[in-house]
Structure 1
Amino acid sequence: MLIESLSGVRGYETDLSENVIKSYGYAFSEMMNGIKIVIGRDTRISGEKIKNTITVALNSSGASVMDLGICPTPTVQYAVEYQNASGGIVVTASHNPLPWNGLKFIGPDGLFLDAKQMNWLKNRRMEIGINLPKIKYLNSKSILYENAIKDHIDSVLRIPYLNIKKIQDKKFKVVVDAVNGAAYKAIPELLTELNCEIIPINCSCDKSFPRSPEPLPENLGELMDKVLSTGADIGFAIDPDGDRLAIVSDKGKPISEEYTLVLAEKLVLSKSTNKNKIVVTNLSTTMAVDDIARDFNARVIRTPIGEINVAKKMREVNAVIGGEGNGGVILPDAHLGRDSLVGTALVLQLLSEGDCSLSNLMKKIPKYSIIKNKLQKGKIDLNSSLPQLIKIAAADSINTDDGVKFIWENKWVHVRPSNTEPIIRIYSEAPSKIEAEKVAAPFVEFFDINS
Structure 2
Amino acid sequence: MALIKSISGIRGTIGGKVDENLTPLDVVKFTSAFGTWLQNNKNKKDITLVVGRDARISGSMVNSLVCATLQGLGIHVVDLGLSTTPTVEVMVPELHADGGIILTASHNPKQWNALKLLNEKGEFITGKDGAEVLALAESEDFDYAEVDSLGKYETRDDAFDIHIQKILDLPLVRAEAIKAKKFKVVVDAVNSTGGIAIPQLLEHFGCEVIKLYCEPNGNFPHNPEPLKEHLGDICELVKKEKADLGIVVDPDVDRLALVDENGELFGEEYTLVAVADYLLRHTKGAAVSNLSSSRALADVAEKLGCEYFASAVGEVNVVTLMKEKNAVIGGEGNGGIIYPELHYGRDSLVGVALFLTHLAKEGKTVSELRATYPSYFMGKKKIELTTDIDVDTLLTKVQNEYLNEKVSTVDGVKIDFENNWVHLRKSNTEPIIRIYTEAFSQQEADSLADEMILKIKSLI
TM range, smaller chain: over 0.9
Among 134, 137, 146, the alignment partner of 1:136 is 146
Residue identity (%)? 40
1:212 to 223, 232, 235: 223
- Tell me the SS of whatever aligns to 1:184: helix
Q: Note the alpha carbon deviations across 1:275-327, whole angstroms, 9 max, x for none.
A: xx111111111101011101211101111111111112222322111111010
The 3-state SS of whatever aligns with 2:362 is: coil
Residue pair 2:50, 2:80 contacting (<8 A) in 1 also: yes
- Aligned-partner Cα distance in 2 for 1:444–1:174: 43
Q: Which residue of 2 aligns with 1:436?
A: 445
Q: Which amino acid aligns with 2:67?
A: T
* Match of residue 362 from structure 1: 370
Amino acid at match of 1:123: A
Does residue 21 (structure 1) correspond to residue 31 (structure 2)? The answer is no
User: Structure 1 residue 31 and structure 2 residue 42: aligned?
Assistant: no
Superposition deviation, residue 449 in structure 1: 12
Question: More displaced, 67-76 or 24-33?
Answer: 24-33
Matched, 1:50 2:62: yes
Deviation at 1:192, TM superposition (A): 0.5
Alignment correspondent of 1:74? 86
Query: Residue 3 of structure 1 contacts residue 421 of structure 1 at CA under 8 Å; is this kept in 2?
Result: no
| Offset at residue 134 of structure 1 (A) | 5.0
Q: Contact conserved, 1:176 with 1:235, CA < 8 A, in 2?
A: yes
**Cα contact 1:382–1:403 (8 A) shared by 2:** no
CA contact (8 A) 2:73 2:144 kept: no
Partner of residue 424, structure 2: 415
Which residue number in structure 2 is paired with residue 149 of structure 1?
160
Does 1:310 pair with 2:318?
A: yes
SS at match of 1:185: helix
**Corresponding residue SS for 1:285:** coil
TM-score with structure 2 length normalisation?
A: 0.91
Match of 2:295 in 1: 287
* Corresponding residue of 2:343: 335
CA displacement at 1:197 relative to structure 2 = 0.6
Tell me how far apart the structure 2 counterparts of residues 319 and 239 of structure 1 sit (CA, whole Å): 25
Retained in 2: the 8 A contact 1:61–1:137? no
Q: Which runs of 5+ in 1 are unaligned?
A: none
Aligned partner of 1:300 in structure 2 is: 308
How high is the TM-score relative to the length of structure 1?
0.92
Cα pair distance change 1:425/1:211, threshold 3 Å:
farther
How many angstroms apart in 2 are the aligned matches of 1:149 and 1:420?
A: 38
Structure 2 CA distance for aligned equivalents of residues 406 and 7 of structure 1? 28
Preserved CA contact (<8 Å) 2:58 2:113: yes
- Asked if 2 retains the 8 angstrom alpha-carbon contact of 1:406 and 1:412, the reply is yes
1:400 corresponds in structure 2 to 409
What secondary structure, in the 3-state scheme, does the structure 1 residue paired with 2:200 have? helix
Aligned to 2:43: none
Cα deviation, 1:57-113, whole Å, max 9, x if unaligned, reads 211111111111111100000000111110000111111113111110010011101
- Residues 247-268 of structure 1 deviation map (CA, whole Å, 9 limit, x = unaligned): 1111111121100000000110
- Partner residue in 2 for 1:11: 12
Structure 2: unaligned runs, 5 residues or longer: 16-20, 40-45
C-alpha separation between the residues in 2 aligned to 1:251 and 1:72?
29
RMSD: 2.5
Equivalent residue number for residue 278 of structure 1:
286
CA drift of 1:32 comes to 2.2
